[in-house]
Amino acid sequence: MGKVLAEMSMSLDGYVAGPDEQVEALHGWYGGGEVETPAATGGFAFRTSPASAQVLREALAHTGALITGRRNFDIAGGWGGSHPLGVPVFVVTHSTPDGWPRDNVPFTFLPGVGRPSWPHRRQRARSRS
C-alpha cells in the first residue's frame, strides 16, 4: 500500500504566491541549476542543483497521485492539461471550473469535498506514494 505524503513550498510569512499570483520566488529553484531532469510528461525539464536533482528524481519516481486545491490549479493554469509529474491530480474545490472536466486529462475535481477519500486516491496512485 502506498503512503500519503504532504509537501508544499511556502514562504515564512505563509504565502505560496506573491500578490500578483507569481510563484517564481518560491519555485524558481526548479529552473536555475545546472542539472537537467526531464518532467514525466516530456517537453519540459527541471534545472536544479545536483542535490535538488536527486530529491526531484526520487519524487518523480515515487509520486503516484497529487491532491491540490482549486486556487493552486487556477494559478498554474491547469498545468496546460498535464501536470509535469504525469500522475493523476485530484483538485479539491467548491465548484468545477468552466470547461472542465476534459477528456483524456489526469484531473479529477472534487466539488464540495471537505476531506478527500484517501483509499480511492491511493488506489489511483497505484503502488507509488
Q: What is this structure's pTM?
A: 0.71
Give CA 111 to chain center in angstroms.
Answer: 18
Q: What is the largest CA-CA distance in the chain?
A: 43
Shortest CA distance to 57 belongs to which of 73, 74, 35, 37? 37
Shortest CA distance to 42 belongs to which of 8, 9, 82, 71? 82
User: What's the N-to-C CA distance of the chain in angstroms?
Assistant: 8
Residue 14 has a pLDDT of 60
- In a structure prediction context, what are the per-residue pLDDT tens digits for the chain, which is 129 residues long? 667 666 666 666 666 667 777 767 666 777 889 999 988 887 789 999 999 899 888 888 888 888 888 888 988 899 888 888 888 999 989 889 999 989 988 999 988 755 555 555 556 566 665
